Amino acid sequence: MNRGDPFSVLPLIERALTSYVERLDVGTRLRDAIAYSLLSGGKRLRPVLAWHACEAAGGEAVDALPACVALELVHCFSLVHDDLPAMDDDDLRRGIPTLHKHAGEAMAILAGDAMMTLAFEPLTTDAVSPKLGKRGELCVRLVRDLVVATTGMISGQVYDTIPGTAPGGSALERVRVIHKHKTGALIRASCTMGGSCAQLSGGGRDEDVAALGRFGDAVGLMFQIVDDLIDLEQPSELVGKRTGKDEEAGKLTYPLAYGGGAEGARQCRDEVAKLKASALAELDRFGAKAEALRELVDFLATRTK
Amino acid sequence: MNRGDPFSVLPLIERALTSYVERLDVGTRLRDAIAYSLLSGGKRLRPVLAWHACEAAGGEAVDALPACVALELVHCFSLVHDDLPAMDDDDLRRGIPTLHKHAGEAMAILAGDAMMTLAFEPLTTDAVSPKLGKRGELCVRLVRDLVVATTGMISGQVYDTIPGTAPGGSALERVRVIHKHKTGALIRASCTMGGSCAQLSGGGRDEDVAALGRFGDAVGLMFQIVDDLIDLEQPSELVGKRTGKDEEAGKLTYPLAYGGGAEGARQCRDEVAKLKASALAELDRFGAKAEALRELVDFLATRTK
């Protein structure tokens, strides 16, 4: 693998996702809807994080594939439900019509539900890898991590979507809670689940997984602040989804919580720099094995879409 | 426990559900929405089945509590999403407004999502019982059963909600596929998961759990045929939810698949009698330990709401 590009694993991840969907026994129409959402591109950030976290924790990266598939299923479920008319009401996602525009609202609700429950399958069966199903304790640990992450993500979605529900006094406190849950929980889980999978090849020590969790916390918050900046500053055509919608919807974002305008954006960039430094510090213990994660942090801090 | 009434365990099940919800760390509003759905009564059929299946398979029934909570979470998630405007669009459930009427559509989508993912928590942590979390293989088996059941249920919901998706030639074949998935899958899992929990106290042999699975298949189909008859014949006031809606929505039901009218209803009652006999036959192996399950089958075959 080319260490210089953390995304060079994408073909392997795409293949795992495609072959998982092909073998799904859920009826043609539901499988088509799942394929539409799951196989329509995207950054695959969570699987890529899990892959390299496994490597950093001393594992064979390929052992993280069940976690990669599980994480992307949860992520895509959340996108499909977030896009629904009763939620963010988005028509465009990854440059194509959202699932409820493509297949109807009922199917979008049900396909989201199905992806969420299916996420637990690769973690406890040989649907993706025959190795994991024989390791009861590791399966249980992965299921637990995914439950905590998904529940956290959904809480965050409540805080973000339903006015007045986010706890915290200041705008900055509230936006931190929203982001920590809505985006951060699953990114944290990507790192810990990937790290835990390293147990399949003799790695994945508890203290290493814990460090990866702290790394994930910093990366998750950084990712979301950058996302807020992109929504504020970049045109829809470039990003492949509608931008400027946070402001339009009156949503609390990081730049706004910092007072908005050029000064808000500047403070966000400072915060991104600090979080990047914290994330990188957590990787020191892993030496060269974390090189791909370092590249990934660089990319995430500077991306514009 | 009074063997004459399989529902005499309800207070214990209600207590487990209430205490589970009270300890949920998902923010006040989301917890309130979950409590509204999960703690608003209902027959608790799936937990009651799991409880008595555990007993039949030679276990301490109380060991089935984690499965009971998981099953009711999945069941309530499915009700909340089924009631949504884009699905069955129901205003009334268990005699009170449906969750989307009570708390808004976004909250109903998110609370359903949360209940579904939370269902995996009692199966892998000490959230409901401290005993289970230490038994990795059993946890994995329970998670697998729940994934299969929930995915099957969602497929069934697709077949039922989205015209032209149900496989099968004749109306009877299609309605069997719909019911087997939509209702049958989770009722089957109630029996197998309850039976597997018997392993915690030395029971739960594979062949007994398999027999409970076949028992659950017969009970599930029987339950749904009776449900179709109730929808056809009973007034809403008695049932606590809108009835007559299958016909109104042009949904395929068992009485209709049998040609409708008095003759369709008569054939349904014949089928119920046959399924009841099959279900009871599977219980022979368990002797007196299955007495509560026998009472339950009697009740389910003759209920009118």
A127-130: long-range pairs with CB below 8 Å, 24+: A127/A20, A127/A23, A127/A66, A127/A69, A128/A16, A128/A20, A128/A65, A128/A66, A128/A69, A129/A63, A129/A65, A129/A66
Q: Is B140 in contact with A124 (Cβ distance < 8 A)? A: yes
A186 and A153 Cβ atoms separated by less than 8 Å: yes
Q: Look at residue A23 and tell me if it is in a domain.
A: yes
- Give the relative orientation of helices A65-82 and A45-56 as an angle to the nearest 10 degrees: 150
Parallel, antiparallel, or unpaired: how do β-strands B92-93 and A96-97 relate? Answer: unpaired
A262-269: long-range pairs with CB below 8 Å, 24+: A265/A229, A265/A232, A265/A233, A268/A225, A268/A228, A268/A229, A269/A229
Q: Is A144 in contact with B162 (Cβ distance < 8 A)? A: no
How far apart are alpha carbons B59 and B57 in whole angstroms? Answer: 6
Distances (CA, A) of A165 to A170, A175, A256, A264: 13, 12, 18, 24
**Which chain A residue has its CA at the smallest distance from B134's CA?**
A137
Q: In this predicted structure, what is the pLDDT of residue A2?
A: 41
Q: Look at residue A104 and tell me if it is in a domain.
A: yes
Q: In this predicted structure, what is the pLDDT of residue B27?
A: 94
- The answer for B 227-286 residues in CB contact with A (under 8 A) is none
B7-66 tens-digit pLDDT: 999 999 999 999 999 999 999 999 999 999 999 988 999 999 999 999 999 999 999 999
> Which residue blocks in B105-244 are alpha helix, DSSP H?
105-118, 136-161, 171-179, 185-197, 206-233, 236-239
Under DSSP, is residue B88 helix (H, G, I), strand (E, B) or coil? coil
What is the mean pLDDT, run by run of 10 residues, along chain A of 305 residues?
77 97 95 97 95 98 97 98 95 93 97 98 90 85 96 96 89 93 97 97 96 98 94 72 68 88 92 97 98 97 88
Residue type for B254, please?
Y
Q: In this predicted structure, what is the pLDDT of residue B1?
A: 41
Its pTM surpasses 0.80: yes
How far is C-alpha B224 from the geometric centre of its chain's CA atoms? 10
Query: Residue with structure tokens 């990114």?
Result: A187
CB contacts, 8 Å: A101 with chain B: none
Q: Is B118 in contact with A151 (Cβ distance < 8 A)? A: yes
The structure tokens listed for A26 are 């859920």
The percentage of residues in chain B with a pLDDT greater than 90, rounded to a whole number, is 81
Q: Is A140 in contact with B139 (Cβ distance < 8 A)? A: yes
Task: For chain A, give the number of residues.
Answer: 305
The percentage of residues in chain B with a pLDDT greater than 70, rounded to a whole number, is 94
**Which chain B residue has its CA at the smallest distance from A161's CA?**
B106
Task: Choose, out of A69, A124, A138, the residue to mutate when testing the contact with B (most B CBs < 10 Å).
Answer: A124
Q: In this predicted structure, what is the pLDDT of residue A231?
A: 85
Q: In this predicted structure, what is the pLDDT of residue A114?
A: 98
A92 and A242 Cβ atoms separated by less than 8 Å: yes
Q: Is A110 in contact with B161 (Cβ distance < 8 A)? A: yes
Q: Look at residue B248 and tell me if it is in a domain.
A: yes
Distance from CA of B214 to the nearest CA of A (A): 20
Which CATH number characterizes residue A157's domain? 1.10.600.10
Q: In this predicted structure, what is the pLDDT of residue A232?
A: 82
Give the E-state strand segments of B26-160 in sequence order: 92-93, 96-97
Distances (CA, A) of B78 to A160, A211, B285, B298: 24, 37, 33, 26
Looking at residues B187-199, what average pLDDT do you find? 98
Q: Is B154 in contact with A121 (Cβ distance < 8 A)? A: no
B100-132 tens-digit pLDDT: 999 999 999 999 999 999 999 999 998 888 887
Any A CB within 8 A of B128 CB: no
Distance from CA of A286 to the nearest CA of B (A): 29
ipTM above 0.90, yes or no: yes
Q: Is B140 in contact with A133 (Cβ distance < 8 A)? A: yes
Any A CB within 8 A of B32 CB: no
The phi and psi torsions of B99 (rounded to 5 degrees) equal -60, -40
Sorting pLDDT into bands at 50, 70 and 90, what band is B268? very high
Q: In this predicted structure, what is the pLDDT of residue B242?
A: 67
How far apart are alpha carbons B266 and A218 in whole angstroms? Answer: 65
Its sign, for the CA torsion B20, B107, B105, A77, is negative
How many CA atoms, within 13 angstroms, populate the side-chain half-sphere of residue B45?
A: 21
Which distant-in-sequence residues (6+ apart) come within 8 Å of A18 by Cβ? A39
Q: Which of B106, B121, B167 sits opposite A86 (nearest CB)?
A: B106
Q: Look at residue A1 and tell me if it is in a domain.
A: no
Q: Look at residue A68 and tell me if it is in a domain.
A: yes
Overall number of domains in chain A: 1
Write out the residue range of the structural domain in which residue A266 sits: 6-302
Whether the predicted pLDDT of B271 surpasses 70: yes
How far apart are alpha carbons A300 and B242 in whole angstroms? Answer: 51
The structure tokens listed for A252 are 């609390």
Q: In this predicted structure, what is the pLDDT of residue A238?
A: 65
Q: Look at residue A146 and tell me if it is in a domain.
A: yes
Angle, CA B37 vertex, CA A123 and CA B49 arms, to 5°: 65
For chain B, the average pLDDT equals: 93
Distance from CA of B129 to the nearest CA of A (A): 15
Sorting pLDDT into bands at 50, 70 and 90, what band is B95? confident
Helix/strand/coil percent split, chain A, to 5: 75, 0, 25
Q: In this predicted structure, what is the pLDDT of residue B238?
A: 65
How far apart are alpha carbons B296 and B217 in whole angstroms? Answer: 15
Q: Look at residue B1 and tell me if it is in a domain.
A: no
How far apart are alpha carbons B133 and B256 in whole angstroms? Answer: 46
How far is C-alpha B67 from the geometric centre of its chain's CA atoms? 12
- The answer for A 40-59 residues in CB contact with B (under 8 A) is none
Task: Choose, out of A158, A177, A178, the residue to mutate when testing the contact with B (most B CBs < 10 Å).
Answer: A158
A216-272 tens-digit pLDDT: 999 999 999 999 998 888 766 666 666 666 766 677 889 999 988 889 999 999 999
Distance from CA of A105 to the nearest CA of B (A): 6
CB contacts, 8 Å: B136 with chain A: 135-137, 139-140
Q: In this predicted structure, what is the pLDDT of residue A44?
A: 97
Residue type for A302, please?
T
Whether the predicted pLDDT of B291 surpasses 90: yes
Q: In this predicted structure, what is the pLDDT of residue A53?
A: 98
Q: Look at residue B263 and tell me if it is in a domain.
A: yes
First to last CA, chain A: 25
Is residue A238 exposed (0-12), middle (13-18) or buried (19+ Cβ within 10 Å)? Answer: exposed
How far is C-alpha B249 from the geometric centre of its chain's CA atoms? 23
Q: Is B147 in contact with A117 (Cβ distance < 8 A)? A: yes
